[in-house]
A and B are shown apart, each in its own frame.
Chain A
Amino acid sequence: MLLVPCPHCGPRNSADLTLVGESESRPDPSATTPVEWRAYLYEEHNPAGWTRETWYCRLGCGRFFVTERHRGQNRFRNPPLGAPDESARRR
């Protein structure tokens, strides 16, 4: 079970957190087209490499944060502590 580096709690069992998804900027809803919007809603890049992800520390501090994980090797880069600066994927 992977140890996820929560910036507030410290490393925690992945079972204590929820992977929200790839971090992507939410398009401006007043200026977006249906095709762009739905790409934002439903498509993920999912490379076998480093990916910016949003995680939610569900059983711990209750904070959302962004970090980078290598999806092929399943390990994290050390993220800086602090608040996320990008939107999480929402549906």
Chain B
Amino acid sequence: MPISIPKASASVSEQVEFASPLAGAGEASGGGWRLSDESATSKLLVYESFEPDGEAEWHLGVGFGAATTAGDGSLVCGVRPGEWLLLGGSPPSAPDMSGVVTVDMTHGLGMFRLAGPAATDVLAAVCSIDTTEAMFPDGAVCGASVARVACTLVRNDVAGERSYLILSQRSSGRYLFDAVRDAGVR
């Protein structure tokens, strides 16, 4: 998915293609599950303000462990206490409030979507988190190890279908995609 970048008066005039962590096709599927690459999604890490009591406080509507859809369609995820990851939205808008530090993680994180009725079973082969309905409902966010890679796991059902977003540091992305795909092949 090409992302347009500002054209400077340099020698490049066409749009620069965004390289995914994966080599080839970013799609895999099996009995009741699909794995797709959504690494090109914009991702903005937002920290809570240094001034928590002032009107400069950044209200994002969710706390640690939950995700919600914002007005502009982006997914706001409380990934750690006092830290949020804004996924999607075009482009990610940095909150213009004092004391709020933001870091663009679009390039630094790979992101995959594991969806389908068998998605939970596939995940249970590589992740020790309790993903039963009450313990990991739609909108749940947690940090976990998936196939020995530190990841952020978000349950983000789409059109009623079970679906998880798995985010990891970019450099582990290819290994992670392969490991999850293998887990689906029994």
A63 near B150 with CB under 8 A, answer: no
Complex Cα gap A16–B127 (Å) = 11
Nearest B residue to A13 by beta-carbon distance?
Answer: B128
- Once the chains bind, are A63 and B80 in contact (CB under 8 Å)? yes
Q: A8-B81, A13-B128 are known contacts. Are A59 and B144 too (CB-CB below 8 A)?
A: yes
**Residues on the A chain within 8 Å of B81, using CB:** 8, 61, 63
How many interface residues does B have (CB within 8 Å)? 10
Asked if A48 is at the interface of the complex by the 8 Å CB criterion, the answer is no
B127 → A minimal CB distance (Å): 10
A49 is an interface residue with CB less than 8 A from chain B: no
Instruction: Name the A residues within 8 Å of B65 (CB-CB).
Output: 9
Q: How many residues of A contact B (CB 8 A)?
A: 12
* Interface contact A61-B128, CB-CB below 8 Å: no
The answer to whether B145 touches A61, judged by C-beta atoms less than 8 angstroms apart, is no
Distance in Å from the Cβ of A37 to the closest Cβ of chain B?
A: 33
A62 within 8 Å of B (CB atoms): yes
Assess A59 versus B80: contact at CB under 8 Å? Given A8-B64, A13-B128. no
From A15, A58, A60, A63, give the contact of B142 (CB < 8 A).
A60
Chain B residues with CB under 8 A of A15: 128, 145
Nearest B residue (CB) for A10: B65
Interface residues of B (CB under 8 A from A): 64-65, 80-81, 128, 142-145, 150
Please list the residues of chain A having a beta carbon within 8 angstroms of any beta carbon in chain B: 8-9, 13, 15-16, 57-63
